[in-house]
Structure 1
């Protein structure tokens, strides 16, 4: 039995929890799995518990084990802003660790509610829970909740130093759960880092192609016009991708093609044409010339009336192919500060340039379809190792040589082989579905590949029989903007490009000054083989001011081209930051590495900002030409 004081402490602890699911579990009937062992040390530090079912105690020697843990984490992990543990134990370790001002958050996974129930009657965690310094989760936590945590600082900034620590040997009995949890976390972290990008040139290619394509975007219908003319005009959407399972769905799709709106990935376009299946929308999200070649051939049997929906960063050849064969298209800008500053909201935005299926999903959802069906969305290899449909333009084994990993299979039984990018695509689709289940039902009728959390898994024919009844296409063509509005937007783009060009010059001047100073100061670190610590500290102080200047430019359009590199740089820098030097040589090594990495940062930024300027100069011609033809003046 608990005393009135203990009951009050328990109530205050659970009331401080931010985890509503855990709160509900702790405030319902709980079976008691633990018994407190005699406290030989007479203090909470020696508190030990035994599981009454398996007769295992949390610690062999509570005080000794916790002292060893504290010594480890107060030295080796002193500068870590985030730590992760499996197992709550008696909780004292976390009370003490959180006194470290460097440690901002501590996440503990504990699956035995009865243990938390017991400890919450004994130890006060109100402040730690209320301030979110102590976060208690369970191993079955939703991937979406983990994603939300890992995309916020400081968790985000220190993803590369993640490690799941075991609280004590007792928790080894939960090995399967721990492995499964660690794999889930590792995959989410990998995906989160992957989505930051790592290639400035890739970002630059997308932007320079956007500059080149921008007049074509303005002169064609906007996404807003498409919404106005086609919202609620169809109840069911089918999204067609090119996974290996697509082959078995094509005959059914052909039979029911007039009873649903068909959204087709660029890679599936030629396949549908081969089977005389006419999509309503064909989407392209990538920027490469190889992807553009998917539109090289046109198909008279299906092309009339199709709207090709491309991100405005697509390769210009894709647009040329469409115009040469008089196919209808719209261009949608990638969401960015530049787009916002140019007031291009009517042209909309899509959340990703990496997965065409996600963009098809967003478009289908925004057009207010009540049911959305996926087919060919395997996101995994087939049993025979193929990566795509047999009629895919670049062959069914196009991605078969990529390093493989595992994912839950369609139907939830067993696993299938996939790769990291497909896993990332799957998580992005799941995240969208998770946030948008209120007004739409999502069906995975792929009948193969990986499971997509949040979808209803049903055979494609069954979906068609149940959801498709009448001919369901009453479409009109979207309209272009009037000339005055077009001119306003064209001038906005020109003005903001000029502002970006000037920002490049300003930032380049500052970076060159910082680089010159840092390189010159670095030569003074060793004076007659004696380390000058004052010089090192002065250099690091100047590098801190450099970070402030980078933060300043992060509010400008320029940041969008250097963001991916800066993110990866910060991820790697975190590994240096958390080091706790044990002697003078380790202190020197840490600081020299810190300085060396920042010199590299400046060199890369200087080289690539020059490329931004060059990219603007080389791709501004179409915009200048259209402005000149309309008697409008360019700032270039």
Structure 2
């Protein structure tokens, strides 16, 4: 075995995955696997307990695999595999520069150890063309990061999970099935989170523009974070699942010993129970959500800070102001928000629910422990979706669909729905991230509903008695407004910037229209008259336009879903194999028809966005 080659490979791995590189360097002797043969013709890895080879005929199987991937997958930028084997297949596939990432999951350190003595992968490991995962160390946060990576996410609609050897199917079937399902679930989550209906985005942009002055004059979110960070060790996030009612007496008893973050829907319930939250959060843009604030609780509201995303409906602000509540608007991390160049006034609300937003804030304020109550994310045994005191009733969400998930406690399954599944996945991703990066522990004290992986399930009483033992110095500071002169200056600068964006957008629209006219004339020609070089040229023009649209900083969530799905769907067309130039010509024509349809949509939504800006600025 080539020790220098092993050291070279592991040194490259140290630059991208220190833990895995260290694990491989620790191996001094293999006990489960050994190498057999000394050339590609007879090279194999033998599983010592079963005396079975990873390959039955390594050279023949390598040839078969290479032929298959050359004919069916040669254009794929991203390939997913389970099982590293000898590494010969990946060394050969990496010679194809179309493959930008080859992602391999492996459960046996010894197999990687042996393969690293056989072939030089160092350059591709460093460049992250070859990405390795050791499955016993794998978690959901890593899979999320992988599939959301800018080099990978546009390939998710071409996802396929390849196993290049029957040995892996025989010995690791359950691992393969579970891993494949996890990847599919995350892909579904990514596709759904990008959306396919720009209507909500249109409303959010409209509301943000309407609320722009209130945002700038209402306080600076980053100043709030800086001042209140690490002021409290323990946070309680109060959500509105049906289990909340049973936790209220204990919450009232310990209310002054933790920071209380309250979802908008929980706020009237806590007010009725006489439990004052420190922060009330609201995420949604719907008028129905505004009704959680259509009440007058008088002195109860004193010292509460209402943290509202800028996409909120105008009624939310109307009700807050009517009852003299102290509120701050915060930008969500959406593309249109980034166009405003108002980073100090954001960002909060990456997740898909107000409870996810509260969790992000509790983590940003660096609480050491975050405690969840009322976070059922499932119907209770009577089919209720909310507590009885919820303003829209305990059946605010009708039962729909046949979706089940693991219950709190792990002993059975509970009925849920798609949106709650997405909220839960957001929690699981965030919980693992803050545990690894910020050393924050999350306790799920809901004592009902769905299991949230990564959280520690404990009775609320036990956590209160063990963690909540010191009164806090409340209220926390909650006024971070700029002086009116400074705020007005920022407001005027933002308006000018947005109008410049409109000017740039209109220029790009004209360029798009001109290219679409050229494309239409080409598509009107009979197919036999179409020139291959001409088709390639117009395809390149549209690729350049798509890049220009993104680089000009004109992207918003109104366009984001269209662009994401357009790029994913276009890639699905382009990776299909072509046997000759005629088939390639057909493929380009399909792509150009796709461009024609999508760029007309881009123009429409860019015009809508421009009209919104001109109307409200």
TM norm. shorter chain > 0.5: yes
Matches within 5 A, 1:40-189: 43-140=39-136, 141-173=138-170, 174-189=172-187
Q: Is the 8 A contact 1:45 1:92 kept in 2?
A: no
CA distance in 2, matches of 1:551, 1:405: 38
Gapped regions of structure 2 (runs ≥ 5) = none
CA distance in 2, matches of 1:339, 1:123: 48
Give the 3-state SS of the residue equivalent to 1:106 in structure 2.
strand
Q: Is the 8 A contact 1:285 1:352 kept in 2?
A: no
Q: Is the 8 A contact 1:91 1:119 kept in 2?
A: yes
CA distance in 2, matches of 1:130, 1:144: 22
CA spacing shift, 1:184–1:45, aligned 2, 3 Å: farther
CA distance in 2, matches of 1:208, 1:111: 50
Query: 2:362 aligns to what?
Result: 364
Matches within 5 A, 1:534-549: 534-549=533-548
Q: Is the 8 A contact 1:259 1:473 kept in 2?
A: no
CA distance in 1, matches of 2:413, 2:587: 43
Q: Is the 8 A contact 2:522 2:530 kept in 1?
A: no
Q: Is the 8 A contact 2:147 2:187 kept in 1?
A: yes
CA distance in 2, matches of 1:361, 1:353: 9
Q: Is the 8 A contact 1:221 1:481 kept in 2?
A: yes
Q: Is the 8 A contact 1:263 1:280 kept in 2?
A: yes
Give the 3-state SS of the residue equivalent to 2:578 in structure 1.
coil
CA deviation vs aligned residue, 1:37-93 (integer Å, no higher than 9, x gap): 5x5xx7314423332322433223322222221111001101011111111222211
CA deviation vs aligned residue, 1:132-181 (integer Å, no higher than 9, x gap): 32222123412222222222232122111111111111212211111111
Q: How far 1:231 sits from its partner (Å)?
A: 4.7
CA distance in 2, matches of 1:269, 1:224: 24
CA deviation vs aligned residue, 1:393-451 (integer Å, no higher than 9, x gap): 33444445444555554345555454444343334334444444446443221223334
Residue 8 (str. 1) matches residue 4 (str. 2): yes
CA spacing shift, 1:131–1:613, aligned 2, 3 Å: closer
Matches within 5 A, 1:602-613: 602-613=599-610
Query: 1:596 aligns to what?
Result: 593
Q: How far 1:210 sits from its partner (Å)?
A: 0.9
Give the 3-state SS of the residue equivalent to 1:490 in structure 2.
helix
Give the 3-state SS of the residue equivalent to 1:44 in structure 2.
coil
CA distance in 1, matches of 2:518, 2:64: 45
CA distance in 2, matches of 1:377, 1:345: 30
TM-score, normalised by the number of residues in structure 1? 0.88
CA spacing shift, 1:422–1:138, aligned 2, 3 Å: farther
Gapped regions of structure 1 (runs ≥ 5) = 621-636
Q: How far 1:301 sits from its partner (Å)?
A: 7.3
CA spacing shift, 1:406–1:91, aligned 2, 3 Å: farther
TM-score, normalised by the number of residues in structure 2? 0.90
Query: 2:481 aligns to what?
Result: 480
Q: Is the 8 A contact 2:283 2:349 kept in 1?
A: no
Q: Is the 8 A contact 2:306 2:326 kept in 1?
A: yes
Q: Is the 8 A contact 1:235 1:472 kept in 2?
A: no
Query: 1:574 aligns to what?
Result: 571
CA deviation vs aligned residue, 1:232-281 (integer Å, no higher than 9, x gap): 55443211011232232122112222332221111212222333322222
Q: Is the 8 A contact 1:408 1:415 kept in 2?
A: yes
Q: How far 1:99 sits from its partner (Å)?
A: 0.9
Q: Is the 8 A contact 1:342 1:496 kept in 2?
A: yes
CA spacing shift, 1:68–1:34, aligned 2, 3 Å: same
CA spacing shift, 1:365–1:120, aligned 2, 3 Å: closer
CA spacing shift, 1:271–1:124, aligned 2, 3 Å: same
Give the number of aligned pairs. 609
Aligned-residue Cα RMSD (Å) equals: 2.8
Give the 3-state SS of the residue equivalent to 1:598 in structure 2.
helix
Give the 3-state SS of the residue equivalent to 2:301 in structure 1.
coil
Q: How far 1:474 sits from its partner (Å)?
A: 2.1
Q: Is the 8 A contact 1:373 1:442 kept in 2?
A: yes
CA distance in 1, matches of 2:493, 2:389: 44
CA deviation vs aligned residue, 1:558-598 (integer Å, no higher than 9, x gap): 54532232112111111112111235664344222201110
CA spacing shift, 1:457–1:133, aligned 2, 3 Å: same
Query: 1:22 aligns to what?
Result: 20
Query: 1:462 aligns to what?
Result: 462
